[in-house]
Amino acid sequence: MKNITLMLNGKKETIYFEEGDTLLYVLRDRIGLMGTKFGCGYGACGACTVVINGEAVRSCKVLFKTLEGADILTIEGLTEGKKLHPIQQAFVDANAVQCGFCTPGIVMELYALFSKEPDASDDRIKEVLSKHLCRCTGYESIFTAAKLVQKTESYSKQDKKDFERAAKLAREYIKE
Ligand code: FES
Ligand code: FES
């Protein structure tokens, strides 16, 4: 086995792997981070999306051996204890989770989008969401959740962790 060192969810980690391992395989089967989902396995569904160096990436398409020194964020890295990230909270508040299988990938996709484009247009949000398959077809509520994230002012570069305020603003937005 070989190993590489990288940043995973904010911590420096040295992780062992075999030559042909994908990032998805290492996350789920070698280190037990099961939040990233295995859907199609060939880049079509988006269920395995994580954030690598700030970009949303399909982890089933990335060979782990290419990631020396990378900064990787998975759905597990968004929560702070039991507190949900504002994007996750928006999904709850907008009832945008049915079976939940597509949810982690979409949340990570939106995290990458809003980190760079907090004021992304509706068309831009739809373009990004169109890369993900939701078998439960909850696209309208998923779009509502994305808009809700934009309404929660706490989702800014300075203040990404203001969970309570984000949740309060989200609830107010839902009632409007
Ligand atoms: S499992 Fe990676 S895109 Fe479907
Ligand atoms: S909520 Fe079931 S696949 Fe999207």
Sequence-ordered list of residues with C-beta below 8 angstroms from that of 147, at least 6 positions apart, any chain: 122, 125
With a CB cutoff of 8 Å and minimum separation 6, the contacts of 3 are 14, 15, 16, 17
End-to-end CA distance of the chain: 56
Task: Report the number of distinct structural domains present in the chain.
Answer: 2
Read off the tokens for 43.
């880049």
pLDDT at 159: 47
- Span from the CA of 118 to the centroid of ligand 2 (angstroms): 24
**By C-alpha distance, which of 94, 95, 129 is closest to 110?**
129
Q: Could you tell me the pTM of the whole model?
A: 0.88
Domain contains 169: yes
Q: Is the CB of 39 under 6 A from ligand 1?
A: yes
Least distant ligand from the CA of 48: 1
Q: What does the pLDDT read at residue 172?
A: 63
Q: How far is CA 79 from CA 3, 84, 164, in A?
A: 27, 5, 13
Q: Is residue 96 part of a domain?
A: yes
Does 9 share its domain with 67? yes
Q: How far is the CA of 3 from the centre of ligand 2 (A)?
A: 34
> Which atom of ligand 2 lies at the shortest distance from residue 106's CA?
4
Encode the chain (176 residues) as per-residue pLDDT tens digits: 999 999 999 999 999 999 999 999 999 999 999 999 999 999 999 999 999 999 999 999 999 999 999 999 999 999 888 889 999 989 998 999 999 999 999 999 999 999 999 999 999 999 999 999 999 988 999 999 999 998 875 554 444 455 455 555 655 655 55
Q: Which of 47, 74, 101 is the last residue of a domain?
A: 74
Report which residue type is found at 51.
V
The domain that holds 95 is classified in CATH as 1.10.150.120
User: Pick from 17, 45, 74: which residue ends a domain?
Assistant: 74
Does residue 81 lie in a domain region?
no
Per-residue pLDDT, 157: 44
| Residue matched to tokens 């739809």 | 126
What's the CA-to-centroid distance between 149 and ligand 1, angstroms? 25
CATH classification of the domain holding 17? 3.10.20.30
93 shares a domain with 49: no
Site to substitute for ligand 2 among 38, 88, 95, 103, most atoms within 8 A of C-beta: 103
Query: Structural domain of residue 47, as residue ranges?
Result: 2-74
